[in-house]
Every structure is written in structure tokens, then in C-alpha cells.
């Protein structure tokens, strides 16, 4: 079943949301006592997760929601609301602003009687750790699955060194080229992106969200958040991690340029009470590009394994 998508206002930012099993502004079916809420990585366009979450919902049978990162999907031209500009509103789009954005979304749209299964990908995992510091939200969370979690030493990782050493200095050039790209006819843009994905053996279903990404405003917000991540995602807060250990499940990759295996080894050594798993299938960090079914299978098994135990604890 295809997801329903649209925009809602969160902290004054038009925010793209995709849901399966009930729209965020509709009343949930009384049988639904829990939802899965995904917080994406950066770029945080929910469209990239469409196939992954469709499969997860179809097989799990509970509502699944995905909320985009603030400022990373433009509302349609017909919308009466536009994105607040970055220069005047950096606090909306930096790492702290993204966390506040998700907290506000949960408070506004997730019914208080519904338990939450959080899924965070990449920097979405770091956002979840910060979200769980809010005691009200934490009391409603059944489990938090952190997939390829960029929760420490981002700038020291191989990809982080590339970002800070090279990409950071050519961002204006990238944005200029993307600005030129926006003047191409739509069919030309789709053709070029389709060829790009086919050459990389990536499904062309990702052309649609990439069309939305290829915009100077959106990409500028993406890079702004990325640079903020490099500066702020440093050493682990081991005390907070231990405090949250009963809620967390971390899934690490074996070929991850953002989260080298040594990060997993350090985590397992310093926080043995936290459940971690290392991928056995060599799934990429950006799993949504090629490995939707495989990752959905893995997450489905994990959720089913933990769900009954968690619900038993919450229900009399």
C-alpha cells in the first residue's frame, strides 16, 4: 500500500510527512496502540525511504510515519507557506533545531495514548538520542532502533575528513551548479538523473526525491546541517547512553565511511549493556538506495522480537 504524503507545520516550518496506516491529522484506529516513527539521515527527504517503509508497514501491520528534516523539502508552489530562510533562521535548521523540530512533531501529532517505536538512520540516530532526553517522550517509547548510527566523532571518520577537508570548500560551486540545473527542462533533469542512477545500478525510483533535493535552497540547508554535525557530533555521552540502554538497539555496517567498525568496537567495550549488531550482508550506510528489502527484513525481525516483550511491560 502506498503511503499518504503531505505537509504539516512544525515550529513554523512546512514539513513533509509520509504515513502508512492513517494520516497524522486523522484519528488513529483504536486497534493501533503503537506506531513506527522514522527520523531520516541527512539529506532528510522522506521520499528516499518510501520503498523501505512501505515494505515494513505491509509486513508489520502497524502505522508507519516518516518525518522529513526541517528545511529539506520545499512545499509545493501552490502552498501558502514557504520555508523560513536559512540566513535569518539558522536555529531552525541546525542539529539542535532538528531535535526541537522532532520533539514538536511528536507533541503535536502523536496521540498521547500511542506508544512509539523510533527508527533513526545516520544522523537521525543522534537526534533520537537527544529526543530521548525528554522524559515525556521517553516514557512513550517502546524501542529505538539506530541504523548506521552517526552518534560520535563524525569529523574523524573517513567521510567526515572528506567533508571537512574537501567538500566544505566547494559547497558554493556545488550550489551554483545545482542552480544552473534548475533551469533545465524537467524531462532533461529526469533523464540525466535516471542515467546517473542506472549507471550506478540504483533503482530509478530515487529520481523523484533527488529532483526535490536538487534545489539550491534545499541543498544549502543540507550542507548547513552537515557542517553543524561535523562540529557538534564529537565524543559519546556514555552516561546518557547507559541511562537509555534498555531502549536502544544499534545496527552497524561493515563498510561504513561514516561509522567505522572501530566505533562499534569502542561502543561494545565501553557500553556492554547496550545491544548492538554488526551487519552480515555488507549493506551500505545509505541503505535506502539499494537495500530496502534487506534492511526491512532485518528491522522487521528485530521489532517483532522486541515488541511483545515491550508491550507486556507497558500493558497491565
Where in the sequence numbering do the catalytic residues fall?
Answer: 122, 256, 285
Instruction: Give the number of residues written for the chain.
Output: 316
How distant, in Å, are the alpha carbons of 219, 222, 260, 273 from that of 179?
Answer: 10, 15, 34, 48
**Cα–Cα distance between 237 and 139 in angstroms, integer?**
20
**3-class secondary-structure state, position 107:** helix
Phi, then psi, of 274 in degrees rounded to 5: -90, 130
Cα-Cα-Cα-Cα torsion 54, 58, 64, 70, nearest 10 degrees, comes to: 0
Number of Cβ within 10 Å of residue 274's Cβ equals: 19
For the chain, what percentages of helix, strand and coil (3-state, to nearest 5) are there? 50, 15, 35
Burial class (CB in 10 A: 0-12, 13-18, 19+), 188: exposed
Amino acid at each position: 500500500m502506498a503511503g499518504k504524503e503531505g505537509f504539516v507545520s512544525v515550529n513554523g516550518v512546512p514539513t513533509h510527512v509520509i504515513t502508512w496506516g492513517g494520516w497524522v491529522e486523522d484519528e488513529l484506529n483504536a486497534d493501533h496502540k503503537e506506531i513506527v516513527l522514522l527520523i531520516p539521515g541527512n539529506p532528510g527527504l522522506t521520499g528516499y525511504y518510501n520503498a523501505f517503509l512501505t515494505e515494513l508497514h505491509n509486513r508489520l501491520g502497524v502505522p508507519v510515519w516518516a518525518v522529513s528534516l526541517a528545511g529539506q523539502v520545499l512545499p509545493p508552489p501552490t502552498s501558502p507557506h514557504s520555508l523560513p530562510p536559512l540566513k535569518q533562521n539558522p536555529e531552525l535548521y541546525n542539529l539542535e533545531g532538528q531535535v526541537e523540530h522532532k520533539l514538536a512533531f511528536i507533541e503535536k501529532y502523536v496521540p498521547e495514548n500511542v506508544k512509539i517505536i523510533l527508527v533513526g538512520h545516520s544522523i537521525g540516530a543522534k537526534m533520537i538520542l537527544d529526543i530521548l532526553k525528554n522524559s515525556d517522550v521517553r516514557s512513550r517509547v517502546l524501542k529505538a532502533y539506530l541504523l548506521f548510527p552517526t552518534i560520535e566523532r563524525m569529523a574523524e571518520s573517513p567521510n567526515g575528513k572528506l567533508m571537512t577537508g574537501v567538500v566544505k570548500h566547494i559547497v558554493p560551486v556545488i550550489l551554483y551548479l545545482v542552480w544552473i540545473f534548475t533551469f533545465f527542462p524537467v524531462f532533461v533533469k529526469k533523464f540525466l538523473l535516471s542515467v546517473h542512477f542506472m549507471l550506478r545500478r540504483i533503482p530509478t525510483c530515487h529520481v523523484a526525491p533527488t529532483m526535490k533535493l536538487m534545489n539550491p535552497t534545499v541543498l544549502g540547508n543540507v550542507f548547513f546541517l552537515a557542517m553543524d554535525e561535523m562540529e557538534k557530533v564529537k565524543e559519546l555521552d556514555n552516561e546518557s547512553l547507559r541511562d537509555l540502554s534498555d531502549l536502544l538497539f544499534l545496527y552497524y555496517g561493515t563498510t561504513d565511511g561514516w561509522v567505522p567498525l572501530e566505533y562499534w568496537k569502542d561502543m561494545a567495550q565501553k557500553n556492554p549493556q547496550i545491544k548492538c549488531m554488526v551487519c552480515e550482508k555488507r549493506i551500505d550506510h545509505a541503505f535506502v538506495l539499494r537495500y530496502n528489502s534487506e534492511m526491512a527484513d532485518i528491522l522487521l525481525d528485530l521489532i517483532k522480537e522486541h515488541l511483545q516483550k515491550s508491550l507486556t511491560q507497558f500493558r497491565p
